[in-house]
Structure 1
Amino acid sequence: MTHAVAGWSIRRPWTAVVLWIAFVAACLAIGSTVPARTATSLESTVGQAAKAEQMLRGAGLADPATENILITARTGRLDVNAARAAAAAVNSRLSALPEVAQIGIPVTADRKDAVLLPVVLRGDPDTAIDHLAGLRAATDAVAGQFPALRLAQTGSASLTDGLAEQSAKDLDAAGVISLPLTLVILLVVFGALLAAGVPLLLGLSAVAAAFGLSSLMSHLLPSTGTTSAMILLMGMAVGVDYSLFYVKRYRDERARSQGHLDAVRIAVETSGHSVLVSGVAVIVAMLGLFFVHDVTFSSLAASAVLVVAVAMLGSLTVLPALLAGLGRVLDRPRVPLLWRFAARTREPRLWPFLLRPSLRRPVWTLAAAVLGMLLLTAPALGMTLSQPDVDSLPRAVPEVAALQRMAEAFPGEQARHKVVVAAPAAQSAQVEQRLRGLEGNVEDTTLRTSADHRVHELILNTDVDSESAEAHQQVDGLRERLPDALRGVDATWAVGGDTASSMDYTANLDRALPWVVGFVILATAMIIVVAFRSLVLALVTAVSNLLSVGAAYGVITLIFQNIGGGKIVSFVPLFAFAVLSGLSMDYHVFVLTRIRELVGEGLPTRTAVARGITESAGTVTSAAVVMVSVFSVFVLGNGIEFKQLGVGLSTAVLIDALIIRALVLPAVLTMLDRRTWWPARPQSQPHRLVTTGLAVDDLRPAVVHAQAAGPRSAAK
């Protein structure tokens, strides 16, 4: 079917281009008319903590949204009297706002360096972000009256809003940097502006279409703050790479004196096949993240699947059409020095030199390469995972800076556990009595009951840090004691709170890890089996992917934990594994396809490996540089999770494109020789015409524009 689609696009190139533009425009129209749905705090919680929050919300006992007005000195010591006067002025203004339910008593820090005014908002906590404008206006108005003081607002709603705004800024900055950088790389590769622009335009159009469709998709799978970044990251990486494979193969075939349409046809059958296989591999790998049963992972996976699917669709439709329609115009306008560099036809020297150890001494080369990658992996054995805390959030966000100053002025975030029990109203008194027995040595407790006396909440405000081992033990103890405490009561129960939520999130990742890893490895291996009919290649693929991912983990741990002194964000390793397992298939499939072509032509495996890797080295290296440039831009952002992802993905792509392709893969294939393709063996097959039986002459009307560029544009 893909051949038929590509054949139709080749026969009617400009119709295909117009339809693609219409498709992208329709997607953008959908995105502008359908508002995206963002995941709620409840949807972002997992495990027993999510169950507790759901029970509280159903009973009308959910905690309201709370904002904090922090008053500190801009310079020097704080004038406490002035700070309290400012707090009173803020109180007066906020009291008139309908969205404010309650204003607390101003609290002065022990060191007299800050005054804190808590504000409770009305309504659904998940929509509190829509009511922040009035609070900010009131705070700003009072700040103008006290120029010596710094009045800052922070809380769950304002923090979410500030981080989202910063994420949008980082995304814009990433686009501003990555687009010209990618264009420069493509100009070096192709030496012509139009040839460089085609991959970039396909990548941009795939990202634009996916942005629009993601708004519609969010009503099935709610989006998170990382959705847009994921679409840009994956869309530019795969969209540009897929096009690069096509254009490079098309130009190589033209350089071998193939006719214009023959070159397009061969590019579709070879690079098109590679794009199809690698795209399916990326999609399947990302689908593995659904085993986590977490809204963040599901949103990231769905976004990646969406943009990769759009990029694949473009590579099978509009890209062959552009190649067929543009013809030699694709090489215009030429950049003088870069064109001379890109058009060189001399035999490469670097890659034959790099491949020499693998071809002559494959065993020793493989052993040395694997040992080196295992050494890179070693730091990952001490990897410590953690959810982002106050110190890891970007201080460039004003709300984060305020939160960090508040933590310094009022240290010690204490664990607050919630024990929630649902039981028949007739057993209300019995449940309250049993819950009181769980208070233990905790002095600060609160017992709340719903209006219908069916749901009860015991709040335990402890004096231990919320992320301490003792707090974790308290949650485990409550969960162990509750079944016995409620024996004889027809009740359902759950223990929640921030500590329980963090514990459940980590436990959920631990549970999902073997499922995700197993699914991704087996699924990508099966794709190799279907594509190449080789069980041996499937095994080689799985092992090489694990080596490159392990090395990337080691580099992340070394930079951010061993050297940086921090911790690895808990979702990064699992997410990076799925992404890398899919993206590594790009180069793997492209190289293996070329090697199989040469073996099918009758070359011995060793010779086919040497020629296949050497001939594809330029394309693979160029694609790797494009991906690394896209991923590296995210290191410049403010979010620690994207810094870690940027470093990990860039490292893995470099390792995969250079070490795996230059040392590990050729050494393994040379050692295996004919057994590489077991149980099948590549058969020599002539290139099939992708136009469902039409002869090349029947396609000449499709290239009128190309022929108009000069007599040499005609198909030979």
Structure 2
Amino acid sequence: MKHRENVTGFAARAAMWSARHRTLAIIGWIAFVVGVTVLSGQIGTREATDSDQGHGESGRATVLVEQAGFPVQPAGEMVIVQGADRDAAVADVTRSLTGRPEVGAVAEPLTSPDGQASLVTFTMTGDPDTAKERVGPLLDTVAGVQGRHPGVYVAQAGDASGSKLIGDSLDEGLSRLSMLSIPVTLGILLVAFGAVVAALLPVGLALTAIVAAIGLLAGASRLAPTVDTTAHVMLLVGLAVGVDYCLFYIRRERDERRNGADPHRALLIAAQTSGRSIWISGLTVIVAMAGMFFTMDATFTSFGMATILVVATAVLGSLTVLPALLSALGDRVDAIKIPGLYRRHSEGRAWRWVLRVVLAKPLISTVVAVGVLAALAAPALDLRTKGESIEDLSPKQPIVQTMVAISRAFPAEVVPAEVVVKAQTVRGPQFEAALADFRRAAAASKQLREPIEVRVNPAGTVAVVSVGLAGNGSDRTSERAVETLRTTVAPGAFGKLAGSTVAVTGDTAQGMDFNQRLTDSLPWVFGFVLGLAFLLLLVSFRSVVVAVTGVVLNLLSVAAAYGMLVFVFQYGNFESVLDFKSGGGITNWMPLFLFIILFGLSMDYHVFVLSRIREGHDRGLATKQAVSEGIGRTAGVITSAAMVMVAVFALFATLPLISTKELGVGLAAAVLLDATIIRAVLLPAVMALLGDKNWWLPRWLNWLPAVSHDLPPAPPTTPQPREDRELTPAL
């Protein structure tokens, strides 16, 4: 007997439409994924240029250089030779490289200030962007010189060899990640569901959502150009949220089916509960990701656009094609059961025991949980940031070891600053006099070093003056040298030229300007993310206390993640396990990025748990009982979802760059804490202490729209065959 249900809410209406038109919904999703993928191949993806990624004075300098029409700079390489008897090896290096088709020009050897090392620099022929593909034979040539002179150290590093190392290492790591992430995720889902078909659905939805989002990114890149790591971030976030949304939806539908609901009602309940939570959670995550736009940085803007697209696509798929697939499959979603893993009920007994203890002693549980989180977060008080460099790769890599040796012996060659001078003319006696003044002031500063070299554009209107810096390029000594260069030396020498514009750039200067840009944007990002997350929770649950609690708990989770990052990567713990060498700080963009990602992803669990608690409260249960029922019934699925996220994030810690290791460890640790200490202990303890105050809403906010958390009313019951009321028992 057919019946009409009271369908309320966007998610439920979308699900019911898809269930009634499931063939159209499934074909439409496939056509959407294929269509945007084909279209992206036609229009291409726009990548961010150097000027797109610049900030402050260094950004203005980059624009001046790009507009000046300088010839393309060839890729530069360096060969260091160390040892007491190195003259023969230096001559061998020069002789072996000169005349090779890959080599443009070989410069005269330089001697280090301490007289213990020599440096042979040379340029490569051809396009510098593809030089990494041609540098292999030169690395072999230098290795041959080393073999002929075993008594000295001979090694090569530079633009092309560094790019080759990073590219090869990342390609190898990403290939490994791609091969492992899907099987690991599928394995966890097989354990969670105990059935092959149910486990395949979340993986399939997540992968198609990621593919579609990458296709959409081609069009969006016209507004927000992409950077190299954008696709990696999309994979990270897309696999996590795509699997989670599908997992929550399927688990609720299967639980309702096992509780005796017919297929239509089970799908309707899942749509009006989990579907609504997906909608709210997805919107909250999107709001958090939109906070990246306030940085006005090309990397963050690219990440923000990419994550918004992948989350929105995952939400779209969860609310449309997933209900259609569940409607088409029916009870066959539990097909191919795995003996020993398939269970008719998914409630976690261990978590129920923990919950009983927490609710019996909520004050003690709160104090213990906050104490643990505070201890984990304590190192974050000492958090320092640093820029990225080739030293962020594994210290076991020969080219990394070479670059470290060169930077110590010849710091001015590795990390020079560049003074960009634009004037009516940068040729002739006036500019030469200014350059002489610059050399004298640089030497007098004791912070700027030779060699000082000059490049002039064809029009003679822009000069780039490179000068060495004291320090290692990323320490406070180098930063003070840049400050001196910017405030006194450069403007004092070149500011006298008619119509001159002077700007300082270089790796150190760019890092300083990037850090300043992030510092300036912090209040805006934090205010936007925290404020809108509070408003969304307030509207969704009509409670000021619930909204405040959600924001505070998420901040505790982020703080604990920061503390663990400092403990591991800044203090250098577990270096051998994770294969890295601490640089004494956290990658400069990591804290802000982690805050945004973690705050968004943490809302997934928070919204799903609170929705289930609010269901019980709206049915008339006391707060403590509603908390017990809501968390008890979601503990199993939250654990499964957290295991997926932790496994996927942890795999990123196996990639070669320190930044990807920081990303993987920080996200995995935070999600693990969030699903255990935060959601299973602190949240129920705090809600038990607050009691009915959890649902406090001032009278002047009664105008807020009411979001129903009630289940749809049950239809009139009619006798049904046994097979419609029960699922097949586990094998």
Which TM-score applies when normalising by structure 1?
0.86
1:233 paired to 2:242:
no
TM-fit CA distance, 1:710: 7.4
Distance change >3 Å, CA 415–CA 325, structure 1 → 2 = closer
> Which of 704, 708, 712 does residue 687 from structure 1 map onto?
712
Contact 2:411 2:472 in 1 (8 A): no
Structure 1 residues 136 and 434: alpha-carbon distance in aligned structure 2, compared to 1, 3 A threshold: same
Q: CA deviation at 1:319?
A: 0.6
Conserved 8 A contact 1:31-1:213: yes
One-letter code aligned to 2:684: P
1:526 matches 2:535: yes
Picking from 3, 8, 27, the partner of 2:17 is 8
Q: Measure, in 2, the Cα distance between the counterparts of 1:396 and 1:170.
A: 15
Classify 1:171/1:348 alpha carbon distance in 2 versus 1 (closer, same or farther; 3 Å): closer
What's the counterpart of residue 271 of structure 2?
A: 268
**Secondary structure in 1 aligned to 2:341?**
helix
- In structure 2, C-alpha distance between the alignment counterparts of 1:503 and 1:568, rounded to whole Å: 15
Q: Structure 1 pair 29/145, CA: closer, same or farther in 2 (3 Å)?
A: farther
Kindly state the Cα deviation for residue 119 of structure 1 after the two structures are TM-superposed: 2.8
Corresponding residue to 1:640 among 658, 666, 672: 658
Residues of 1 paired with 2:716 and 2:173: CA distance? 49
Residue 48 of structure 2 corresponds to residue 23 of structure 1 = no
The answer on 1:256 being equivalent to 2:281 is: no
1:472 aligns with 2:490: no
Instruction: Answer yes or no: is the 8 Å Cα contact 1:166–1:397 preserved in 2.
Output: no
Are residues 551 and 142 of structure 1, via their aligned partners in 2, closer, same or farther at CA, if it must alter by over 3 Å? closer
Q: Which letter does structure 2 place at the counterpart of 1:386?
A: K
Query: Partner residue of 1:59?
Result: 68
- Higher mean C-alpha deviation, range 422-431 or range 585-594: 422-431
Q: Deviations over 1:430-477 (max 9, x none)?
A: 676556544414274445554545434444334544334333223223
Aligned to 1:373: 373
1:156 partner letter:
D
2:524: which partner in 1? Answer: 515
Residue equivalent to 2:173: 170
Structure 2 contact 373–556 (Cα < 8 Å) conserved: yes
Q: CA deviation at 1:392?
A: 2.3
2:505 to 482, 496, 500: 496
Q: Which amino acid aligns with 2:330?
A: G
The residue correspondences of 1:168-567 to structure 2 (distance < 5 A) are 168-339=171-342, 342-344=343-345, 349-395=349-395, 399-400=399-400, 402-404=402-404, 406-407=406-407, 410=410, 416-425=416-425, 433=433, 436-439=436-439, 440-442=441-443, 444=450, 445-446=452-453, 450-481=457-488, 486=495, 490-564=499-573, 565-566=582-583, 567=585
**Cα 1:488–1:187, aligned 2, differ >3 Å: closer, same or farther?**
closer
Matched residue, 1:665:
683
How high is the sequence identity, in percent, across the aligned residues?
37
CA displacement at 1:626 relative to structure 2 = 0.9
CA contact (8 A) 1:327 1:713 kept: no
Provide the rounded CA distance (Å) in 2 between the counterparts of 1:204 and 1:398.
Answer: 37
- Say what the alpha-carbon RMSD is for the aligned residues: 3.5
CA contact under 8 A between 1:620 and 1:657: conserved in structure 2?
yes
After TM superposition, give the deviation of residue 79 of structure 1 in Å.
7.6
Deviations along 1:97-119, one digit per CA (max 9) or x if unpaired, are 6xx65332355779999875423
Asked whether the 8 Å contact 2:210–2:239 carries over to 1, the reply is: yes
Shift of 1:712: 6.6
- The more displaced of 530-539 and 327-336 is 530-539
Shift of 1:427: 12
CA contact (8 A) 2:94 2:106 kept: no
| 3-state SS, counterpart of residue 337 of structure 1 | coil
After the TM superposition, which of the residue ranges 436-445 and 607-616 deviates more from structure 2?
Answer: 436-445
Partner residue in 2 for 1:622: 640
Q: Note the C-alpha offset of 1:282.
A: 1.3
Does the 8 Å CA contact 1:104/1:117 hold for their aligned counterparts? Answer: yes
Rounded to whole Å, the distance in 2 between the matches of 1:292 and 1:687 is 43
The aligned counterpart of 1:85 is: 92
Does the 8 A contact of 2:57 with 2:504 survive in 1? yes
CA contact 1:427–1:489 (8 Å) conserved in 2:
no
Cα separation, 1, equivalents of 2:526 and 2:442: 43
Give the Å deviation of 1:206.
1.7
Deviations 1:188-216 (A, max 9, x none): 11111111111111112222223333344
How far apart, in 1, do the equivalents of 2:189 and 2:570 lie? 35
Shift of 1:15: 2.7
Q: Could you list the per-position Cα deviations for residues 142-178 of structure 1 after superposition, in whole angstroms to 9, with x for gaps in the alignment? A: 8679965798764234423432332232122112222
Which deviates more from structure 2 when the two are superposed, residues 624-633 or residues 62-71? 62-71
Q: Which amino acid aligns with 2:597?
A: V
Structure 1 unmatched ranges of 5 or more: 690-694, 698-706
Whole-Å separation in 1 of the counterparts to 2:683 and 2:240? 23
Distance 1:112 1:332, change over 3 A: farther
SS in 2 for 1:70: strand
Pair 1:146–1:616, CA change in 2 (3 A):
closer
Contact 1:56/1:62 (8 A) holds in 2 = no
CA shift for structure 1 position 327:
0.6
The AA in structure 2 aligned to 1:581 is: F
Distance 1:350 1:682, change over 3 A: farther
Cα distance, 1:410 vs structure 2? 4.8
**Structure 2 counterpart SS, 1:602:** coil
Residue by residue over 1:20-69, the C-alpha shift from the partner in whole angstroms, topping out at 9 and shown as x without a partner, is 22222233334544544433334333221121122123224588243215
TM-score (norm 2): 0.85
Equivalent position SS for 1:304: helix
**Contact 1:472 / 1:499 at 8 angstroms: preserved in 2?**
yes
CA distance in 1, matches of 2:398, 2:220: 31
Deviation at 1:399, TM superposition (A): 4.8
| Greater mean alpha carbon deviation, residues 364-373 or residues 197-206 | 364-373
Shift of 1:585: 0.5
> Judging changes above 3 Å, is the alpha-carbon distance between structure 1 residues 146 and 545 closer, same or farther for their aligned structure 2 residues?
closer
Using the TM superposition, name which of 151-160 and 223-232 deviates more. Answer: 151-160
Matched-pair contact (CA < 8 Å) for 1:67–1:158: no
Structure 1 residues 540-591: Cα deviation after superposition (integer angstroms, max 9, x where no partner): 1111111110011111111222243542111111100000000000110001
Q: Is the 8 A contact 1:365 1:664 kept in 2?
A: yes
Change (3 A) 1:19 1:80: farther
Q: What code does the residue aligned with 2:557 have?
A: S
Q: Does 1:579 align with 2:582?
A: no
Quick one: distance in 2 between partners of 1:397 and 1:22?
Answer: 45
Q: Which moved more, 1:229-238 or 1:30-39?
A: 30-39
In structure 2, distance between residues paired with 1:162 and 1:34: 30
**Partners of 1:557 and 1:568 within 8 A in 2:** yes
Q: Cα distance 1:382–1:463, how it changes in 2: closer, same or farther (>3 A)? A: closer
Matched letter for residue 253 of structure 1: E
Q: Residues 261 and 725 of structure 2 are in contact (CA less than 8 Å); yes or no, is this contact kept in structure 1? A: no
Shift of 1:601: 0.8
Q: Distance in 1 between matches of 2:195 and 2:247?
A: 13
Deviations 1:500-533 (A, max 9, x none): 1121122122112222112111121111122222
Deviation at residue 534 of structure 1 after TM alignment:
2.0
Deviation at 1:328, TM superposition (A): 0.9
